[in-house]
Structures are given as C-alpha cells and as structure tokens.
Structure 1
Amino acid sequence: MPESNPPSSGDRLSTADVSFLYLEQPTTAMHVGTVMVFRTPDGGLDVERLMRHIGSRIVYVPRYRQRVKQVPGRLANPVWVDDDQFDLSYHVRRSALPRPGDDEQLADLVARLQSRPLDRRRPLWEVYVVEGLSDGRFALVSKVHQALVDGESTVDIGQVVLDSVPDVEPVAELPWAPRRSPNGVQLVLDAVADSVSRPGEVLDVVRHNVSNLRDVGMGTLRTAGRVAGFARRLSGVAPASPLTTGTTPHRRFAMVDTDLEDYRVIRAAMLEAPAAGLRPHAVTVNDVILSVLAGALRAWLLTRAEPVGTGSVVRTLVPMSVRDDVGPPGGDLSRPAAPEVGNRVTSFLIDLPTGEASPVMRLHQVAYQTRAHRDAGRAVDAAAIAGMAGFAPPTLHSLGARVAAGLSRRMFHLVVTNVPGPQHALYADGCELLSTYPVIPLADGQSLSIGLTSYAGRVFYGLNADREALPDLDVVGSCIRDALAELRAAVGPVAG
C-alpha cells in the first residue's frame, strides 16, 4: 500500500451509537426505514443513472462507505473504518412488483425488507429501487441502522438524495481510495490511549462487558433522551395493552395518505367556532394528529372487543420535538453536501384518551397535555423544521427512534414520530417525489410504531407492526381515515 494512504485509526463509535448494536436482537432489527414513491420520468426509469446519483451523494457522507470494526477483547468501543470492499451495487438493489403493482403489494414488500437485519460486515445501509408500481411510479425503500445516523456527522440517506429543483447539475465524481483499516495491535494501542484521555468512556465499556449489555444501553440512552414536562408525571409503568405483545421478527406495514388541509381546517375551527359549547382553544396541527390517532386506536380496540372504559389511555412516546437551536429556516436543498440537523430531538409522554367518546374532547385533552411541552420553550415551529437544509424528516425520524429505544418499553405502549416536511415538490435525479412514509422500528415487546411526515399538502403515515400481534393492521389504517373525518365533522365549518 503506498505511503500516501496510511492506515486509519478509525473514528470510535460513541457509547450511545454502540448501544444500538448491542440492543439489536433477532426480533428487533435496529434500523429506520423510509418509503419514497416517485413519478417515473418520461422515457422510463434509468436505474443505472439513479444509482450513480445516489453514489455521488454519499461521497459527502463518509459513513456510508464505512463499516464497524471491533476492538480485540472489546477493550474499547468499536471504530468506523473504510470498507475496502465497498460495492455500491450491493447497497443499492433492484426489485420489482408483479402486476398490478398496487400500494398493498408495495407495503408487503416493505414489511419483508424491513424484517431483515443489516449485514454488520458491511456499511449499515441499503436502498431498494422498486419498479413496477401502478400509475407510472417507482419507489426507493431505504434501511439505515440507528448506530449510523446521529444527525451531526451523518444524516439519513433520504436527506441527501433529494433536491428542491428537478434540474441539478450532476456532481463530478470524486476519486476515493479507502484508508487502510487499522490492525489489531493499532486498535489496542488506540484503546489504551483513549483510556488515558477519556477514562469515563472506558468505564462504560467495562460495564458493557461485565453486565447486561441491554441494560447498560438503555441507561445510556435514557440520559440522552430525557422525558420533559408532563412526562415526569407519567413515568410509571404503563398498563397492559395489546400494543405491547410483539415477539416476532416479522413485520406488517401499512401506508395511509391524508390531506394536510383537513388538519388545518380543524385547527382553525377550534380557534374560530368552538364546537360543543367549548371555549375557543389554541391547538396545533400536531395536537389534531395525536387526537386523530386517539380516535383511531379507540375504534380499533373496539373492533377487537378490547375493554375500553372512560379512563382508558394509550400511553404514547412522542420523540419529535426539536430544540430551539436549530438556526434559521431556509437551507439550500440543491447542494449535494450533507446538511447538519444535529441531535435536537427530545421526547415526551402523552396519554392518548382512547376512553373518551367525543372527538372534540379528545382534542382538548391532547392539547392540554402537549401545552406543557410547548410552555417549556423547547418546541420549534413546523416551518423552521421544514426549512432545515435538506429533506430533514428522514433524519429526524431516525433521531426520534433513537430516543425511543433508550426508554424502557414498560413506560409506554406506542411510539409516534411526527416530522413536518416542505410543502413544495422535491426530486431525486429529476424524478418527482410523490409520497414518503417513515418506517419506525419496534422496540422489544412493542407491537406497533407510527411515523408520519407532512409533505406537499399531504400527511403520510407509515404503520410498522409485529406480524402476529397485528394481523388487522389494515383496520388501524382505515380507522385513521375515519377518525379524521369524524373530528372534522364534529368541529363544524370554519367561519368566513
């Protein structure tokens, strides 16, 4: 190997990052996914060109060409090293749906793809180009390990492949030669050096090796994902629920597409013409979404003949808030460089009032709980989030899932990540993005997770569920649409 290419000592994984490797089990793959559906361009899809587009963008995010290498004896956390066998065609794969190529078939494929763990001998990501969708569409289905995306040095691949304009000059291919991987002796020497400079981190590593890895990982992430405000009053063990019975590695996936205007109309109606004799009340689109989920879960539980009393709740972890240091909105999405989002995701717990029969009262109860979070001054306006450089939702969903993984599953029944996206069209190599659905991983024992992203006037839900625990996942999707319609009808028309 020439002297100009010396061996790299590797960037060491943080204790939080390595926890996601230790937390992974056969039943709980620790990667976050995104399903992005595009309009096929005139003349058909050029898959080779699309692969080159993806390859040109990951140049600016070096992690996507690095793999994890363990330190002998686990004397320190693993390190990121360049993959000297990196093969883009391994990570970007082709797939196709048989006719008719409908959304149900796509959801079945996504469920199978997301059930499979990533190969730790290679960089921890995959993208599937899915052809054969109806109505002249194709999809990109991504999988990125939670150990990879920290929001600072590395963002989700969905954030770097999209542009705000259809015609972007191709990025010149940059020469890349992998740095030599450090050998065992160098890794040990580096670990000894770190033990002198960072003794606290070494203590964490020792704990990993002499005690239960899962408990240590949880403890580490609890510190990073503190539950604020109202959550402190809800931190006891959540009651038993059919949403906490998942035990298999197999998944079901469902996609729900709704109109953002419906949520805005409901919010405006609550301000201008309060229903049911209630006073005007300031609510957010997020409040409306959570109350719709409360109504949907109530209806779903009733279809199962589950006991739903007046005090019934679904305790929900909502890791979607962004701290107020995100900076000004309006980043340039056309740049190929990876934008920084940062670890700005916090979380709070909320009891979705599934025992409340009135949709308007459910909205009031949800808004009362979320107000405590807003009053703490840690929430950021949706426009600021949507204006971050790059298509931030995939990264923010990933960061939200990281926070959720750090909390005991006994504290909550459900994870809901809600990230607003831009309301203008986005493109990948000139192909227009039509819809985008998050795939949030399930924690051990969890049966359902929900991610949603607003984009271009729509709100897209991705429902990820344990295959055996929720054979009726499609019913949950139908109940979301019905609950939205019920709430809109209940609040009445907007004045003027």
Structure 2
Amino acid sequence: MQRLSGLDASFLYLETSTQLLHVCGLIVLDTSTVPGGYSYGRLKEELGIRTEAIPSFRRKLQDSRFNLDHPVWVDDADFDIDRHCHRVAVPAPGGREELAELCGNIAGQPLDRARPLWEMWVIEGLDDGSVAVMSKMHHAGVDGVTGASMIAQLCSLEPDSPRPDPADSAQGAGGASSLEIAVGGLLSVASRPVKLLQIIPRSVGLLPRWIDRARRGDAMPAPFTAPRTSLNGTLTSHRTIAFTQLDFDLVKQVKNAFGVKVNDVVLALCSGALRTYLDTRRELPDKSLVAIVPVSVRGKSDRPGTNQVSGMFTELGSDIEDPAERLLAIAEHNSTSKEHNETLGATLLQDWSQFIGQSVFGAAMRLYSTLGLAERHPVVHNLVISNVPGPTDPLYFLGALIKAMYPMGPIFHGAGLNVTVMSLNGQLDIGLMSCPELAPQLWDLADAFPDALDELAKAAVTRA
C-alpha cells in the first residue's frame, strides 16, 4: 500500500458535490494516421493494454474505519478497462460549442471512488471527422506534471509504436488489510507532535516577514486582497468549458522582443483576454486581478506524495491599458512573487497539509459550500492559471495524431475560473473551465485570447 500525503488527501477532503477536484483534458485526434484504421474497439483495446503496464492507472483508494491518518492507494485486483473507457457521440452539427457542452457535462460528474480515479470518454461525430478524447483524473492522484506524464505514457513520437512489456512496468501499490491501514495510520499520527514542533519555528515568522516585504514593495499579493468580479462566487455542480489555440512561435517572438519569459507572456494573454471580457460586461475592476499560479517543487522537496506543488500569488496588471506596459509589469510582479514564494520554502504547504483531518476538514468544506461563504468574505484570488510545457514534436495518442490537447484544471468556490495552458508542436493550447452560473458566455473569454496575442505581437514589433 502507499499512503496518500496530506496534500494529496486534501483534494479528497476539499471535494463536495459542487466543488469537483478532478483534472480534465480534451485531446483532438486525427485518426487517419492510426495503423490499420480507427475503430473504437481497437482504441479501447490498445488503451487497456497500455494502462495494464502503468501502475498509476490501476491503483484505487482504500481506507479503514479505524484509520486515524489519510487513506492509502492499493492495486485494483478487479481492474476492467470497460469501467474507465466510454464511447459517446457529440450532438449535431458537431461543432466546438456542441463538443464543449458535452465535455462540460462530463466534467460535472464525480468520479467513482470505489475504482481507480480516472475516466476517458471517446467522442465521435465531430463535423471535421476528428475524434476527441475527454480525460478525467482526480487531483488526489495527479498534479500538472504527473498528469501530463501519465498521458505521455499513452503517446509516442510515431503512429506505430511498440506496446510496453508488462514485465518492465513499475511496481504497483500492492494490497492492504484494514488492520494494516489502521496500524500504519496510528503510527503516523503518533509522530505528528514531533513534526509539528519542527515546522512551527519555521512558520511563526512568516507573517511578520511578509508584512515587512510588503512595506518594501517586494512581496507577492496577500490572500484576500483581490477585487471581486462575477467569476468569484459560489459554484454549482454544473461546468462549462471553452478552448482556443494560438501560434506558439508568435508567443516566443513576443517573449524575445520584451526579454521576458514564456510564463510572463501567458499571464499577459490571460490578463488581456480578461480585460476584454470584463470590460464588455462593465465590471473591469480599477484594481489588478490576482491569480494563483501552481509552482512545481519537484527536485526541491523530499516529501512523499504525488502532488509536488506550492502556490504563487501574482498580479495580472489588468488595470493597465497599454499591452506593453502590462506585460513588463507582469514580468516584474512574477519575479517578485517567485522570489518571495521561494523564501517560504518548498515544503511548507506539504508539511502543514499533513495535519488536515478528513472528518473536520470535510465537514467544514461542505458547510462552507452550503452557506455560500465564498461571497461573504474578501476574495482570496480571482482565478487559477497554470502553464504546462509540452513536447515540440508531433505527438500520437494510441496511433492517432494529436491536433490539439486542451488541459483544464478544477475550479474552487470564490475562484470560478481555471485557465490551463500547454505548448505542443508549435501551438499553444488553452483550456478554460468555469461554472455556467458564473460565466454563462465563456466562449467570449476564449475568443478574446487571439486578440490579446495580436496586440502583444504589434507591441513587440513597435518595440523592435
């Protein structure tokens, strides 16, 4: 068995019927490249063979009523690909709106915790003859890096790649009895007081140092200081998605012209699109929007667990009209926030999350959701923005050429928009996830991204 870390388990405890914490991805495929031709049966068979050799696809949750610690992963002895791979057709005429509506319905359904926490929906009937695959993986089992890695293990650089040898697969989670889970949990909980004494001295001075940095002007934005917009409310169980694709070479031209980083340009694209979206609705705040950006701590943290991340708050410069000034301001904010985040320590979030208890934390989250408390306190942050680097070469998913791969992360009460970006084969694929009650016209936001890139590209030419 493999016990979940506190951070991994927190995504289970945070989940409610309206705050679903799985990570989604929409892959659009050109099936003409599949050796021997495409059929759903052949794709499902290939998926089943490959997932059998990848232990992360075959592990499920297990717990004991006497367990005082977090649940554990065990191998699913009854793993069946038919429980995880499904087939559906998009309604006519099969355009992007129909595809997005169908995927939003899929994203709004919880995963079955009695089985390995993932699903794939093969979607046929698209108007251009493509086939799409909508994937769902619970955040307890993946972060941005591991989720991309699991999908990558189903991909190849050639359409006809050899199948993996099950003998070469990594060791699985194993099994566990209720007694083993309970005893292991008791021993882990018994060591917590010692761990608490270790992290309190490192944490007690964080607030004074944060205040001191803020006075000097080199602190990232503090939580609860973001302006409120229509995107910052209580979620329902419904989900809406949208997506768009940009020229990654043009993004890099902007990066080079201004001497900034790709992530700075990505945030500037989000800022420009949000300015247009909110201004059209006459709700653009005078104060800058604040985003939280997941930061990988792989290689910096020695703590166990799948989720190896921390969070960085940064301003989006949405109060700045000029796109060039906005991009440079974002780059400066990012530099400050990154340096400040690093001073907090790579393991701070992981260490404190170990003390999260399921019974208390889960009940508190359900009460928070039921009472709509996200609308009764200052906004913690406006949205989540994540940037996942992808391969620069063409990629094939089970033999089919990938035309686009739109990642979509979860949304939270009070921050009902997630923008996740992935670069792939010269394109920048952007996936948006929200709640239709908060963003009924999410396509307006998606369609604002190309214009945001155009204005940055024009500013880059002027600068050159």
User: Could you tell me the TM-score, scaled by structure 2's length?
Assistant: 0.79
Partner SS, residue 243 of structure 1: coil
Cα contact 1:320–1:418 (8 A) shared by 2: no
Unaligned runs of 5+ in 1: 1-9, 205-218, 271-281, 327-339, 379-398
Q: Which amino acid aligns with 1:36?
A: I
Query: 1:415: which partner in 2?
Result: 384
Cα contact 2:32–2:400 (8 A) shared by 1: yes
Query: 2:401: which partner in 1?
Result: 432
Q: Indicate yes or no: 2:247 matched with 1:259.
A: yes
Q: Go from structure 1 to structure 2 and tell me whether the alpha carbon gap of 1:203 and 1:341 turns closer, same or farther (over 3 Å shift).
A: closer
Query: Which of 25, 48, 51 is 1:55 aligned to?
Result: 48
Query: 2:365: which partner in 1?
Result: none
Query: 1:212: which partner in 2?
Result: none
Query: Which of 363, 370, 374 is 2:334 aligned to?
Result: 370
For residues 160 and 248 of structure 1, the distance between their equivalents in structure 2, rounded to whole angstroms, comes to: 34
CA deviation string 1:334-356 (max 9, x = no partner): xxxxxx99755443211111111
Q: Indicate yes or no: 2:145 matched with 1:130.
A: no
CA deviation string 1:450-483 (max 9, x = no partner): 0010111111110101111111211111221211
In the TM superposition, residue 118 of structure 1 has moved relative to its aligned partner by 0.3
The worse-fitting range, judged by mean Cα deviation, of 61-70 and 167-176 is 167-176
Query: 2:357: which partner in 1?
Result: none
CA deviation string 1:409-431 (max 9, x = no partner): 84311100011211110112221
* Percent identity between the two aligned chains: 33
For residues 479 and 237 of structure 1, the distance between their equivalents in structure 2, rounded to whole angstroms, comes to: 26
Partner SS, residue 492 of structure 1: helix
Q: Go from structure 1 to structure 2 and tell me whether the alpha carbon gap of 1:16 and 1:461 turns closer, same or farther (over 3 Å shift).
A: same
Q: Indicate yes or no: 2:425 matched with 1:456.
A: yes
Query: 1:305: which partner in 2?
Result: 282
Q: Indicate yes or no: 2:433 matched with 1:442.
A: no
Cα contact 2:221–2:313 (8 A) shared by 1: no
Q: Which amino acid aligns with 2:222?
A: L
For residues 196 and 268 of structure 1, the distance between their equivalents in structure 2, rounded to whole angstroms, comes to: 53
Q: Indicate yes or no: 2:461 matched with 1:492.
A: yes
Partner SS, residue 71 of structure 1: coil
Cα contact 1:110–1:141 (8 A) shared by 2: yes
Q: Indicate yes or no: 2:14 matched with 1:23.
A: yes
When the two structures are aligned, how many residues end up with a matched partner?
Answer: 413
For residues 486 and 451 of structure 1, the distance between their equivalents in structure 2, rounded to whole angstroms, comes to: 21
CA deviation string 1:301-321 (max 9, x = no partner): 111111533xx2110011145
Alignment of 1:329-344 (within 5 A): 344=308
In the TM superposition, residue 155 of structure 1 has moved relative to its aligned partner by 6.8
Q: Which amino acid aligns with 1:196?
A: L
For residues 237 and 181 of structure 2, the distance between their equivalents in structure 1, rounded to whole angstroms, comes to: 37
Q: Go from structure 1 to structure 2 and tell me whether the alpha carbon gap of 1:419 and 1:190 turns closer, same or farther (over 3 Å shift).
A: closer
For residues 439 and 294 of structure 2, the distance between their equivalents in structure 1, rounded to whole angstroms, comes to: 23
In the TM superposition, residue 196 of structure 1 has moved relative to its aligned partner by 3.5
Q: RMSD across aligned C-alpha pairs, in angstroms? A: 3.7
Cα contact 2:31–2:400 (8 A) shared by 1: yes
Q: Which amino acid aligns with 1:316?
A: A
For residues 251 and 70 of structure 1, the distance between their equivalents in structure 2, rounded to whole angstroms, comes to: 30
Cα contact 2:22–2:139 (8 A) shared by 1: yes
Cα contact 2:409–2:433 (8 A) shared by 1: yes
Query: Which of 307, 312, 321 is 1:348 aligned to?
Result: 312
For residues 491 and 63 of structure 1, the distance between their equivalents in structure 2, rounded to whole angstroms, comes to: 44
Q: Go from structure 1 to structure 2 and tell me whether the alpha carbon gap of 1:76 and 1:320 turns closer, same or farther (over 3 Å shift).
A: closer
The worse-fitting range, judged by mean Cα deviation, of 167-176 and 480-489 is 167-176
Unaligned runs of 5+ in 2: 196-202, 343-349, 354-360, 362-367, 369-373
User: Could you tell me the TM-score, scaled by structure 1's length?
Assistant: 0.74
